[in-house]
Structure 1
């Protein structure tokens, strides 16, 4: 072998030459375990060892935040909860009607930007959820006054 071939084999740039006589090759294979090809070595080096993760650790506990804003400035705090992937129930019964409309407009934009959803669940009560929470079902708009 030339010096160039020895260097290539040392750095595994090329596989070993296959021009070795058949008898000698068979004895070499019987004596030493077969060498892995360059591709096999690279794949084994690139592939990380499998990691075991507990499902309980992977599934983070979800929170639902209940908020009764008193002023419009609290809308930003509600948006922060949504950005942190928490569902928020907003009760607007203790705030003036015009400020309630402004809060819902602000939260509608926030929920839209985050890919979430906003639903009315009662009189002046809204459920805002980020994209990682799915809301199933609907509440009708018909209310019973005599019950």
Structure 2
């Protein structure tokens, strides 16, 4: 290709060679685009989060609840089946677990708590007056 052909090609005036080179260049660009598509990631890749409901009957149920939290699943713990002293021990264990995982814990009822790992945020609060009304 001569210097003149290059200038003519720059201005869009050229022979068949310019068109052939343009077509080859376009095919190469299309192939590069197809290769690049392997790097495209969907923004909707988050799995659905499952909430676990637990009613522990003994202190031995605590590790199972902790395993759910370690697996990034929020847990609602209902302590209405256990005595107060045992409930306090269970909550102590779970609060340590939640703290270690960087999560949070809130009371949502008289004997009910929600424990969440770090990937789940809790919004809002429930006032303690609501719990007082349940006791009367």
Tell me, yes or no, if structure 1 residue 52 matches structure 2 residue 41: yes
> Deviations along 1:48-106, whole A, 9 cap, x unmatched?
75223261xx1100011110000000010000000000000000010111111111000
SS at match of 1:89: strand
Q: How many Å separate the matches in 1 of 2:98 and 2:115? A: 7
Tell me, yes or no, if structure 1 residue 119 matches structure 2 residue 97: no
Q: How does 1:27-46 map to 2 (within 5 A)?
A: none
Match of 2:63 among 76, 82, 86: 76
Q: How many Å separate the matches in 2 of 1:83 and 1:25? A: 69
- Provide runs of 4+ in structure 1 moved above 3 Å: 24-28
Tell me, yes or no, if structure 1 residue 144 matches structure 2 residue 127: no
The structure-2 alpha-carbon separation of the partners of 1:78 and 1:54, relative to structure 1 and needing over 3 Å to count, comes to same
Q: How many Å separate the matches in 1 of 2:135 and 2:100? A: 40
Match of 2:79 among 92, 96, 99: 92
SS at match of 2:41: coil
Relative to the length of structure 2, the TM-score reads: 0.69
Q: Which runs of 5+ in 2 are unaligned?
A: 10-16, 22-31
1:117 Cα deviation from its structure 2 partner: 0.2
RMSD between superposed Cα atoms in Å: 3.1
1:26 Cα deviation from its structure 2 partner: 9.7
Richer in helix (by share)? 2
